Structure 1
Amino acid sequence: MTTLGNDVMEEGADRYNVPALERGLRVLCEFSRENRTLSAPELARRFDLPRSTVFRLLTTLESMGFLERAEGGRDYRLGLAVLRLGFEYLASLELTQLGTPLLQRLCEELRTPCNLVVRDGRSIVYVAKVAPPTPFASSVTVGTRLPAHATVLGRILLEDLSLPQLRALYPEDKLETFSPSTPKTVNELFDMVQSDRDRGYVLGEGFFESNISSIAAPVRDHSGHIVAALGATITSGHIEEARMDEMVQRVRETADAISGLLNYSPAAKVVALRGGHRA
């Protein structure tokens, strides 16, 4: 049970917090792929709040378009205002504004889907995607979230983390596996991403999905931190080694070009890891 009322008022909370606003935002965060619709009684139970309080929150969010009634009228689901906010966020990202034209050009050159992703905690989030007109239909769209530790693009985005930071992000003894290639422990994940870091790119065959290969390279900002990963998805069968080398080179060059637009200078040192050695 989420004791929302207590959490908001607990000692040490920021005195500038607005409890009612925080409650409303936490209500929105309860909706997900697993919880597409929720009722007022269910939300009241989760937050340990009076139904009257939850009803007022839901009514306010509904009036602003952030929630709408599901079929039947008893349950609620996310409204179009949430989608509009999401698209406005993507449009405001300097990364997508500057990177999308280069992503488009890379897609045309390689004739394969190309993506930009960022990390949100333990997940990667697709913020830009360009795909050629092919029969291949991908379930991945802008906004799709996938596990960082189990994807090629996620491995890129974890490269800046030291071993203690990775352990804080993944405190469990065993990592969830999605394919035979998924690292099973944090130590294994750390060794993998540091090898990727030294190499400068990742080429993974069937790492997350069988019969699909990915090439990924880091995008860095002016500070030298990795802020995104650029990837190309290869859905065809065997590719000649020379062609694959060419594709890897173009992905790396495009990632470097986007980094340059974000004022990253190759002359500047890449962020050094702190406490990054195996215990």
Structure 2
Amino acid sequence: MNNASLPDDSQERYIVPGLERGLRLLGEFSRTDRTLSAAELARRLQIPRSTVFRLLATLEMMGFVERTDGGREFKLGMAVLRLGFEYLASLELTELGRPLLERLRDDIQLPCNLVVRDGRSIVYVAKSVAPTPFASTVNVGTRLPAHATVLGRVLLEDLTMAELRQLYPEPQLEVFSDSTPRTVEELFDMVQRDRERGYVLQEGFFEASISSIAAPVRDRSGKVVAAMGVTIPAAKIDPNKLDTLVEKVRGAALELSRLLDYRPQDEGKVVPLHRG
């Protein structure tokens, strides 16, 4: 039976009062009310204090609330945070990334993209077009070679030499421009320098008339799961704007990473992978 099709009075028959009260209790905690006493919760919810104590005991046992202030008050527990993180992680990457792309585009007035890697290709999963005469040839779903693009280099950063060799077993890589790495060894050295730098900036890497800046998006484990980048319709980037553009792209990528529960405790201390 589809409960969504039931009239309101029928739906009420399926409500569990204890669960409803427990969820309402959790909803009373907020940024301004981080700790609450049982007496205050009873007053707010207009239910007996004994009922509040039973609800709190159950929620405490399950880790949704914790005692504080010598046991006189309660605060939200780690179980609530885990639920929030799992919810964020369950959202599509594009759902979380698109608003950040649009904000970045509005800020720098340049086309912005979000890509993921599928084998040896990058796939555009979100883009935000800027109001400029530049007409991008890529759309959502466009696939380009990972080893020959700035965004692809970001997505290859976490691979060891052995993994890169498995991905590219051929002795010579396909060349798309004068900047394309010719061998897997050259590609490995290139992406490791990118990894230590924390971003990629390249003028005319895939197309001579286009420059790009890209930064990694990482998940909870620290793994690179996407790349966020900006496309600059020029063979050369204005040096007066360079630092600002890099900072804004990296900031947007880091913000998306944080939404994926990435915590860069050792940011800036990246240990380079070695050939092997």
TM-score range, shorter chain: 0.5 to 0.7
Alignment check: 8 A CA contact 1:119 1:125 kept: yes
* Distance in 1 separating the partners of 2:199 and 2:267: 17
What does 1:82-101 correspond to in 2, within 5 Å? Answer: 94-101=92-99
TM-score normalized by the length of structure 1: 0.64
Cα deviation 1:166-200 (Å, max 9, x = unaligned): 00000000000000000000000000000000000
* Distance in 2 separating the partners of 1:223 and 1:207: 30
The equivalent of 1:278 in structure 2 is 275
Structure 1 letter corresponding to 2:246: V
TM-score normalized by the length of structure 2: 0.64
* Distance in 2 separating the partners of 1:95 and 1:278: 31
* Distance in 2 separating the partners of 1:237 and 1:178: 16
Secondary structure of the 1:188 match is helix
Aligned-pair Cα RMSD in Å: 2.0
The equivalent of 2:255 in structure 1 is 257
Runs of 5+ unmatched residues, structure 1: 1-91
What does 1:1-279 correspond to in 2, within 5 Å? Answer: 94-236=92-234, 238-267=236-265, 276-279=273-276
Structure 2 letter corresponding to 1:122: R
Alignment check: 8 A CA contact 2:148 2:181 kept: yes
Please identify, of 241-250 and 110-119, the stretch whose mean Cα deviation from structure 2 is larger: 241-250
Runs of 5+ unmatched residues, structure 2: 1-89
Secondary structure of the 1:230 match is strand
Secondary structure of the 1:215 match is strand
Runs of 4+ more than 6 Å apart: 269-274
Considering only CA atoms, is the larger Rg found in Structure 1 or Structure 2? 2
Alignment check: 8 A CA contact 2:211 2:237 kept: no
* Distance in 2 separating the partners of 1:268 and 1:221: 14
Identity %: 64
CA, structure 1 residues 158+238, in 2 after alignment: closer, same or farther (shift >3 Å)? closer
Alignment check: 8 A CA contact 2:195 2:270 kept: no
Aligned length: 187
* Distance in 2 separating the partners of 1:190 and 1:264: 25
* Distance in 2 separating the partners of 1:272 and 1:237: 30
Secondary structure of the 1:105 match is helix
Alignment check: 8 A CA contact 1:156 1:218 kept: yes
CA, structure 1 residues 273+158, in 2 after alignment: closer, same or farther (shift >3 Å)? farther
